Amino acid sequence: MRFFSDNAAPAHPKVLEAIVAANRLDTAYDGDEQSQRLDRAFSDLFGTEVRAFWVTTGTAANCVALAALCPPYRGILCHKDAHIEVDEAGAPGFFTGGAKLILLDGEGALVTREIVTAACDRIRSDVHQVQPAALSITNATEYGLVYRANEVAALGELAKERGLALHMDGARLANAIASTGESLAEVTWRAGVDALSFGFVKNGGLNSECMIIFKTDLADEIAVRRKRAGHLLSKGRYLAAQLLAMLENDLWLENAHAANACARKLGEAAPQRLVYPVEANEVFLNVSADEAARLRSQGFDFYDWGPGEIRLVTSWDSDAQAVEKLAAAIAAL
């Protein structure tokens, strides 16, 4: 019974069906009929004109966009636990040509207006220090916490005041939206987000993520940067098909609701052990090494997350029975 990553889950059957259905001759790269429908489909979803680009990884989605938002000689403000800082092998440095990640503190990997302001104010405005050009936030955060629309808007306003672009790593944006019930529009472009990595792979996709560009005048540059990074697949229709399948009947939202519900159940099993409130599909618990071993001996698989902490991740296909069992096992510790 695996709770170590939503990356490990299989693809949703409808995603797979869409790939199979796409298996016919069409134009190469993103000239095919389905790739050509993405802008329209995501513009409708977000309620504004966007440009939507398939890519195969969150790292690519984050870093192609960041390279367009931040020149090589400036910096990107982000939380010190952000995925781009911690788990992308230095990809932001590679894609931007050496821009600097300027690290922020913040509980649960959430950043606030105050934190960003203080970080900016610490930087002397001269040629010796790297000046920030962008702010990147993750929603839901690396600790499963969720930004509300008004929190993003406060950051968006600050970004505008400071001349910063605003980027959102939404590897688990679906879970965030499912959690708050706020709209995609409110949490993103209406709050000032310029570019978004909209994650689908952790949420039932096979290998297609989506880069959403709200600042559409960057789209042509981004198309070139995607190609130049080797991310323009020659049979793009199989990626586009996945995204369209995820949008159909809001499958993306349905999957996220399912994953969140399982996480909630796990959290409710031991509220006193929670390191952070459960707001999306990740559960961080204070569990000793002994206790962790006991859980593992019962067949549960998960990651340790620092000393005395474990991380449980649920996914769109989490088995209800396995969740019940794990909840019971945690409660019984």
Site for a copy of itself in 232-291 (CB under 8 A): 232-235, 238-239
Distances (CA, A) of 195 to 107, 146, 162, 258: 24, 18, 17, 27
Report in angstroms the alpha-carbon separations of 265 from 90, 268, 297, 313: 36, 5, 21, 12
Instruction: Single out the residue of 3, 11, 139, 213 in contact with a copy of itself (rule: CB under 8 A).
Output: 11
Take residue 302 and report the two structure tokens written for it.
């998960």
Window 86 to 105, contacts with a copy of itself (CB under 8 A) = 86-91, 93-101
Nearest in space to 30 (alpha carbons), one of 55, 11, 49:
55
In the complex, the smallest distance separating the C-beta of residue 96 from a copy of itself, rounded to whole angstroms, is 7
Please identify, using beta-carbon distances, which residue of 59 and 188 lies nearer to a copy of itself.
Answer: 59
Buried/exposed code over 69-81 (b: 16+ C-beta within 10 A; e: otherwise): bbeeebbbbbbeb
Q: Which is nearer to a copy of itself, 167 or 273 (CB)?
A: 167
- Taking CB under 8 A as the criterion, the residue among 44, 49, 105, 227 binding a copy of itself is 227
How far apart are CB 298 and a copy of itself at their closest, in Å?
A: 18
Q: How far is the CB of 244 from a copy of itself (least distance, A)?
A: 16
| Contact of 146 with 181, CB cutoff 8 Å | no
* 117 vs 150, beta carbon nearer a copy of itself: 117
Distance CA 248, CA 30 (A): 20
125 binds a copy of itself (CB under 8 A): no
CA distance linking residue 95 with residue 55, whole number of Å: 14
CB of 53 to a copy of itself, least distance (A): 11
Please, which of residues 105-124 interact with a copy of itself by CB under 8 A? none
Q: Does 78 bind a copy of itself (CB under 8 A)?
A: no
The contacts of residue 66 (CB under 8 Å, 6+ apart) are 76, 84, 92, 95, 96, 99, 134, 136, 167, 195
Q: What is the pairing mode between strands 303-304 and 282-286? A: unpaired
Rounded least distance, CB 103 to a copy of itself, Å: 8
Please select the residue that binds a copy of itself; options are 167, 172, 190, 231, rule is CB under 8 A.
Answer: 231
Rama region for 163: left / alpha / beta (φ>0; ψ in -120 to 50; rest): left
Q: Report, in Å, the least distance between residue 131 CB and a copy of itself.
A: 8
**Interatomic CA distance for residues 149 and 225, integer angstroms:** 30
What tokens does 18 get?
């869409």
Minimum gap (Å) between residue 206 Cβ and a copy of itself: 6
> Closer CB to a copy of itself, residue 55 or residue 176?
55
Residues numbered 178 to 217 that lie near a copy of itself (CB under 8 A) are 201-202, 206-207
For residues 45-64, which are near a copy of itself according to CB under 8 A? 55-61, 63-64
Contact between 163 and a copy of itself per CB under 8 A: no
* Number of neighbouring beta carbons within 10 Å of residue 190: 18
Considering the complex, what minimum distance in angstroms separates the CB of residue 27 from a copy of itself?
6
β partners of residue 286: 309
Number of residues that bind a copy of itself (CB under 8 A): 71
Nearer to a copy of itself among residue 7 and residue 150 (C-beta): 7
Structure tokens at 152: 């993003």
Report in angstroms how near the CB of residue 183 gets to a copy of itself at its nearest.
27
